[in-house]
Amino acid sequence: MTGLRYLERHELDDQKWNSTVGNAGNGNIYARSYMLDLMSPGWSSLVLNDYELVMPLTWRKKFGVRYLYQPPFLQQLGIYGSHSDIHASLFVETAKKHFRFAEICLNHRLADTRCEARQNFAIDLNKHYTTLAASYTDVHRKNLKRAANASLIYKSSQDHRGAIELSYGLYGKKSGVKKQAYEQLEKLAAQKPEHVMIREIWHQQECQASAFCLRDDNRIYFLLSAVTAAGKKKQANHFLVDHLIREFSESPAILDFEGSDIPGIADFYKGFGALNEPYYFCKWNHLPWPYRIFKK
C-alpha cells in the first residue's frame, strides 16, 4: 500500500495521532498515545499517508525476538480511521512482516473470519433512565430491590489508589495481571485525572464495592470493579451499576463493560440491557524453530 509507513514511537506526531484516533468512528481511549506510553512503553506503529489510518503496535522482546502482545487494561486496539476491510487486511499483513508472532485484540469494527470473536457488552446511555431500567432482567430487578433495603450509599470519589488496591487485593493474583500494571493506572490517574472517575458503594463506614472507570468524549469504560464478601450479600455491585446508569442517563455516552466471555459475568452485564459489541482476538506464529514450539 502506497504511503504505509512503519514508525517508531519517537517518530510519531502525537497531535495528529490522537486526532485520528479521537475522530475515528471506532476510536477508543486505549489507543491514545498517553495510554500506550503508560501501558506499553516503546510501542511503535503503522501510519498511512498523513495519519489517515493508524495502527499501534505494542511489542515486547524475548530471547532477542520482538513480538506483539495485548497490554494489560487495553482491551482492544487495531486500526483507526475511515478504513475498509481491504485496508484492515493490508495493515495486518504489514504487521506480520515486522513481527513473526502476535497475540493481539482488534477493535469491534475489524471483523475477520481468521480471528476469534470475543464478547464485549455496552449500553447507549442517551435515553431516559426509566427507558434504560425497563431493559433490566427480572433477576436484576429483584436484586436491586434487595440492595435498596440494605442502606447502601453511592458516592463519587477521588480515591484512585483505594479502588485499585481493592480490586488488586480481591482479584489481582487470580487475573494474572502484574502489580506493575495496576501501579501504571495510579500514574494515569495522577497524569490524566480528567479521564478517570471512581464510584463507590458504602455501608456505614465500609466501602463494599468500587469501580475505577476511564472516560473520554464518547464512552465510560468499566475498567476495574470490585465487591467485597459483605457487598455481595447486599448486591452492592448491582446497586453500583444501576446508579452509574442513572447518573449518566440522557448523556451522549456509551457505558462499556469491557467483556466478558465468562458466562456469569456476561449474564451480569446483559442483565442491565447491554448489547454485545464483539472485538477480535488475532494470533499468528511465524517464529523459526525452536521458538515456535514455546509459543503454540
Q: What is the DSSP string of 193-242?
A: GGGEEEEEEEETTEEEEEEEEEE-SSEEEEEEEEE-HHHHHTTHHHHHHH
Distance between CA atoms of 207 and 170, rounded to whole angstroms? 13
Residue 98 DSSP class: H
Confidence of residue 292 (pLDDT cuts 50, 70, 90): low
Q: What are the angstrom distances between the C-alpha of 254 and each of 120, 262, 278?
A: 12, 22, 15
What confidence score (pLDDT) does residue 82 get?
Answer: 78
**Nine-digit cell at 181?**
500494571
Q: Which of the four pLDDT bands, split at 50, 70 and 90, describes residue 173?
A: confident
Q: Write out pLDDT tens, residues 212-231.
A: 999 999 999 999 999 999 99
Please determine, for residue 291, whether its predicted confidence score (pLDDT) is greater than 80: no
Give Cβ neighbours of residue 99 (< 8 Å, ≥ 6 apart). Answer: 57, 59, 66, 67, 68
**CATH of the domain spanning 4-117+280-294:** 3.40.630
pLDDT per residue over 177-204, tens digit each?
A: 899 999 999 999 999 999 999 999 999 9
Which of 36-40, 50-54, 176-180, 246-250 shows the lowest per-residue confidence on average (mean pLDDT)? Answer: 176-180
Query: Nearest-CA neighbor of 218 among 235, 185, 195, 200?
Result: 195
**pLDDT score recorded for residue 64:** 85
**In Å, how far are 65, 131, 134, 182, 231 from 228, measured between CA atoms?**
42, 30, 28, 19, 5
Can you give the pTM of this predicted structure?
0.91
Query: What pLDDT was estimated at residue 2?
Result: 59
Q: Where in the chain is the domain with CATH 3.40.630.30?
A: 121-276
Q: Look at the domain 121-276 and name its fold.
A: Aminopeptidase (3.40.630)
Q: In the predicted model, what is the mean pLDDT of residues 130-142?
A: 97
pLDDT tier, 1 (very low <50, low <70, confident <90, very high otherwise):
very low
